[in-house]
Structure 1
Amino acid sequence: MRELSEMPDVRLWFVLLDSMYPWLPVVLDWRAGELARYTAMLVPHQMKRREGLAFNPEALELFVMSKLFTVYPWLQTIKVAKPDAKVNDMLRILGYTIDAELFQLLESG
């Protein structure tokens, strides 16, 4: 039996879903692993016996930055308190922390 992320039709559906609702990762239950499963549908990865899910580092970095540049302005638009903290909490699940200076740069640009 294959993983859902190994099925091209399912992955294509997630690509469409992500393009239509790029903010969707914000509403997932991160602690229950939904963000990791969602990311696995969009980012190339391998399953390793000892380490579990191992994402392609370059692809994951592109995904993370894409989510940052999409989700942060969206959170600001809907007036979420501390959108930078919300984005950092989400990306921390994937192993990334965004420096406050980058959020300031986004604010000025």
Structure 2
Amino acid sequence: MTTIILTSDHLQTLNLAPVETLVLPWLEKAEIVNHEQTLEFTIDYPRDPTDPRELSEIPEVRLWFVRLDARYPWFPFLLNWKTGELARYVAMVVPHQFHRQDGIQFNPEALELFVMGKLFILADWFKENGIEQPSRLQAIAQMLGYEVDNHFFTFLTL
């Protein structure tokens, strides 16, 4: 696993350098596929001890992830799902409510649009990079609570 450390300065200035120093060489060397599900984030963002918000509820943190998602919309491919990085990433870019007892509750329509958008983006990106598609795309959808019929993927290969 590789950990990307985000500091308050990175977040405040929307600086993507911690990601780009890793990802750009992988892209240049066509090695990106070798790093599937290998990245994690450590977010070092100082907060008042009485601040009850989760990191995904802090505007500066969320905005940094929105910028990352806009620049590298295929980035979820690199996140370590087993440690919850995909879910945390989604929480950063999809509207939600956080409940102390129930945990995170995504806006259902926003989550559905996010998932479908990612499937379209990743299908094209996988094709460009010679990555086998349907099973990976289905796994991403399932990880986020969606079942996608196999027939759907025939439309993505047209």
Q: Is the 8 A contact 1:46 1:53 kept in 2?
A: yes
Larger RCO, structure (CA 8 Å, separation 6 or more): 1
The separation in 2 between residues aligned to 1:97 and 1:25, in whole angstroms, is 18
Asked if 2 retains the 8 angstrom alpha-carbon contact of 1:43 and 1:59, the reply is yes
Q: Aligned pair in 2 of structure 1 residues 50, 9: CA closer, same or farther (>3 Å)?
A: closer
TM-score scaled to structure 2, two decimals?
0.64
Q: Give the aligned partner of residue 12 of structure 1.
A: 63
Task: Give the count of matched residue pairs.
Answer: 107
SS at match of 1:65: helix
- Aligned-pair identity in percent equals 51
- Match of residue 118 from structure 2: 67
Distance 1:50 1:96 in 2: 23
Greater gyration radius: 2
1:38 is matched with which residue?
89
**Over residues 73-92 of structure 1, what are the superposed CA-to-partner deviations in whole Å (9 max), with x where a residue is unaligned?**
111211112x1110111121
Partner residue in 1 for 2:15: none
Single out whichever of 71-80 and 58-67 deviates more from structure 2.
71-80
Decide which structure has greater helix share.
1
The Cα of 1:51 is off from its aligned counterpart by 2.9
Q: TM-score, normalised by structure 1?
A: 0.91
Task: Return the offset for 1:49.
Answer: 3.7
Q: Which residue of 2 aligns with 1:84?
A: 134
Instruction: Find the residue that maps to 1:14 and give its secondary structure.
Output: helix
Q: Which residue of 1 aligns with 2:154?
A: 104
Say yes or no: does 1:94 pair with 2:144. Answer: yes
Structure with the higher fraction of residues in strand conformation: 2
